[in-house]
Amino acid sequence: MYDGPMPHPDTIPPKILRRIVPHVSEQHLDFGCGPGYWTYYIGHSRAESRIIGYDISEEKLCFARRRHGKDNILFTQSLEAIAHSGGFDSATLMFVLHEAGLSVMPCLRGLLSEGGRLFVIDYHLKGCGRRRFAEMFSTDPEMRELDAIGFEQAYAIHTSISLDDCIEAGEAAGFMTLERDILWNKYFMWVGEKKG
């Protein structure tokens, strides 16, 4: 059973989420929701919205259902079920792109309705040296669970995708860039809108 760490409310993602929450629509998808901390934050902040948390890990979803269950949130592993839910007006991809890879962009486009917005947050670490990564690896609250995969694999995964790669893949998949930002020289944020 997944029993990951509980992030402190002052960790960086809530600060980022405060920028996203005002744009969360009635029907929102948190793709790669993991243990559901940020799904819950979004669902709690937008009680009138219906939030779907989707992930490939049943173990993390079990944890999410147990710890972060809420009337307006559904956690599921079924991509088919979410594909039939009628199209999302907004979606978040929080720290998922480096794991899922850029090929996930066309899938997100298919799940969003026309004009729907995709908010991508990920590490801004492409080209980062091993020394800087080692410092983050040992101190960053979002990386605490990575001990299990080891330093070398964590380094390879987290330094493989840049904001420019994200933009290129997003635009190639049919999104128009609305916003791009580097946050605290540590994360990037990209907001894309699905073109017709």
| 38 near ligand SAM, judged by CB under 6 A | yes
Nearest CA-CA partner of 189 in 30, 13, 27, 43: 13
Sheet strands (E) in 55-128: 73-76, 88-94, 112-123
| 143 near ligand SAM, judged by CB under 6 A | no
CB of 86 to ligand SAM, least distance (A): 20
Segment lying near ligand SAM (by CB under 6 A), choices 55-63, 128-136, 163-171, 183-191: 55-63
| 43 near ligand SAM, judged by CB under 6 A | no
Return the number of the residue (56 or 172) whose C-beta is nearest ligand SAM.
Answer: 56
Segment lying near ligand SAM (by CB under 6 A), choices 27-35, 82-90, 108-116, 123-131: 27-35
Among all chains, which residue has been given the structure tokens 């059973």?
1
> Which 8-state DSSP code applies to residue 133?
H
185: left (phi over 0), alpha (psi -120 to 50) or beta: left
- State how far the Cα of 4 lies from the Cα of 141, in Å rounded to an integer: 11
CB of 96 to ligand SAM, least distance (A): 4
| 55 near ligand SAM, judged by CB under 6 A | yes
**Single-letter amino acid code for the residue at 130:** R
Considering only CA atoms, give the Rg of the chain: 16
| 105 near ligand SAM, judged by CB under 6 A | no
Helix (DSSP H) and strand (DSSP E) numbers for the chain: 9, 7
- State how far the Cα of 8 lies from the Cα of 37, in Å rounded to an integer: 10
Among 33, 74, 105, 112, which residue interacts with ligand SAM (rule: CB under 6 A)? 33
Segment lying near ligand SAM (by CB under 6 A), choices 16-24, 32-40, 128-136, 176-184: 32-40
| 99 near ligand SAM, judged by CB under 6 A | yes
Query: What are the residues binding ligand SAM (CB under 6 A)?
Result: 32-34, 37-38, 55-57, 60, 94-96, 99-100, 104
